[in-house]
């Protein structure tokens, strides 16, 4: 399935400018890429978080499509309810057109607070897409650690210091958890590779059932990156170091979408981020080794699943 970029480029932007996201934030880029594919006949349910706050501060909205704001924990439940109502009304002949249903949340509202709601919606089989824009912490409320925060990262609730060298746990493997639900489509994507991301959105919306996409969304504020214009470059580095591999699982079959010609060392992704600077002290360098070993192991496991050994 190939997206028609020339056709998509002519479509109107369904997320307006003038919102209050930080300059250099990648999450609005992710949202725009998704909406260019889904089109105006889309209903969005959004969990509380950065993008909800910056795009819908009363009485303004940046959304040019129907939009439902939820609590942190129930975006997936609300969209599954809207999708069920839509199917009933369409069966009765009260609605004729096809409508896409998408729920979105950050990693706090997806990996942690909203996981039960997400799992239930996927298990019930609603025809909907859930997208996690993964910036690896609770950025909206003060950069607290989440289930997606990597090992060793410094946040406001696991600060690097004499007591602890940043977060003490590895990040949760949410994409794998969603694969375990046996749903038709699961994928990881990155905004730097827009063709891959938008192709996956199209597949998700046409898979005939529930779909999940995990999209890395670098946050220069929370990742402590001085050059805000480098956010997309950090997404690219996450992929080229294989920290964030691009792959999809369609009806249980794994497919690798991108394999770096030369797998870069993870240290190249860690160095530009202030949240990892303490790891370069002699007493903490073993954490970098542990992170690299984890990336290497998971990459090899993924290659086997994709038949790419």
Domains of the chain, residue spans: 5-305
Q: What percent of the chain has pLDDT over 90?
A: 95
What's the pLDDT score for residue 199?
97
- How many other C-beta atoms can be found within 10 angstroms of the C-beta atom of residue 257? 18
Pairing of strands 247-250, 100-106: unpaired
- State the chain's mean pLDDT as an integer: 97
What's the pLDDT score for residue 1?
62
End-to-end CA distance of the chain: 25
Pairing of strands 100-106, 42-46: parallel
**pLDDT tens for residues 265-287?**
999 999 999 999 999 999 999 99
- The neighbouring-strand residues paired with 185 are 211, 250
Pairing of strands 129-134, 185-189: unpaired
Q: What is the 3-state secondary structure (H, E, C) of 222-252?
A: CCCCCCHHHHHHHHHHHHHCCCCCCEEEECC
What's the pLDDT score for residue 221?
96
Domain 5-305, CATH number (from 3.40.50.970, 3.40.190.10, 3.90.550.10, 2.70.210.12): 3.40.50.970
What is the token pair recorded at 220?
Answer: 């220069």
Helix axis angle, 27-38 to 194-205, nearest 10°: 50
Say whether pLDDT at 4 is over 90: no
Task: Give how far the C-alpha of residue 252 lies from the chain's centroid of Cα atoms, to the nearest Å.
Answer: 20
Region 291-307: what's the mean pLDDT? 98
**pLDDT tens for residues 115-133?**
999 999 999 999 999 999 9
Is residue 8 classed as helix, strand or coil in its secondary structure?
helix
Region 214-230: what's the mean pLDDT? 95
Contact 210, 77 (CB under 8 A): no
Q: What percent of the chain has pLDDT over 70?
A: 99
With 0-12 / 13-18 / 19 or more C-beta atoms within 10 angstroms meaning exposed / middle / buried, residue 23 is: exposed
Cα(59)–Cα(56) distance, integer angstroms = 7
Pairing of strands 67-69, 42-46: parallel
Contact 152, 170 (CB under 8 A): no
Region 249-255: what's the mean pLDDT? 98
**pLDDT tens for residues 171-191?**
999 999 999 999 999 999 999
Region 100-126: what's the mean pLDDT? 98
Helix (H) or strand (E) holding 164: none
Closest CA to 237 of 256, 260, 219, 215: 260
Cα(275)–Cα(273) distance, integer angstroms = 5
**pLDDT tens for residues 45-92?**
999 999 999 999 999 999 999 999 989 999 999 999 999 999 999 999
Say whether pLDDT at 5 is over 90: no
Dmax (CA) of the chain:
68
């Amino acid at each position: 399935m190939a997206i028609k970029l020339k056709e998509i480029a002519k479509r109107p932007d369904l997320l307006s400018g003038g919102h209050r996201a930080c300059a250099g934030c990648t999450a609005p880029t992710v949202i725009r890429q998704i909406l260019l594919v889904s089109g105006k006949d889309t209903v969005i349910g959004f969990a509380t978080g950065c993008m909800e706050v910056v795009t819908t501060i009363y009485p303004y909205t940046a959304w040019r499509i129907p939009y439902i704001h939820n609590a942190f924990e129930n975006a997936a439940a609300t969209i599954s309810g809207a999708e069920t109502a839509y199917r009933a009304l369409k069966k009765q002949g009260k609605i004729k057109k096809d409508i896409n249903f998408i729920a979105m949340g950050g990693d706090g509202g997806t990996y942690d607070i909203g996981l039960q709601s997400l799992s239930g919606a996927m298990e019930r089989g609603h025809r909907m897409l859930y997208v996690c824009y993964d910036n690896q912490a609770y950025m909206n409320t003060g950069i607290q650690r989440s289930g997606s925060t990597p090992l060793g990262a410094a946040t406001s609730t696991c600060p690097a210091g004499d007591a602890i060298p940043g977060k003490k746990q590895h990040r949760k493997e949410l994409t794998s958890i969603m694969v375990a639900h046996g749903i038709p489509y699961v994928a990881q994507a990155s905004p730097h590779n827009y063709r891959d991301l938008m192709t996956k959105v199209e597949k998700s919306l046409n898979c005939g059932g529930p779909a999940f996409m995990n999209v890395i969304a670098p946050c220069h504020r929370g990742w402590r990156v001085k050059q805000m214009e480098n956010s997309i470059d950090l997404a690219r580095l996450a992929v080229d170091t294989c920290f964030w591999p691009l792959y999809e699982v369609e009806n249980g079959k794994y497919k690798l979408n991108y394999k770096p010609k030369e797998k870069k060392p993870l240290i190249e992704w860690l160095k530009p981020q202030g949240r990892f600077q303490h790891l370069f002290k002699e007493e903490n360098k073993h954490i970098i080794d542990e992170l690299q070993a984890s990336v290497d192991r998971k990459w090899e496991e993924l290659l086997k699943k994709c038949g790419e050994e």
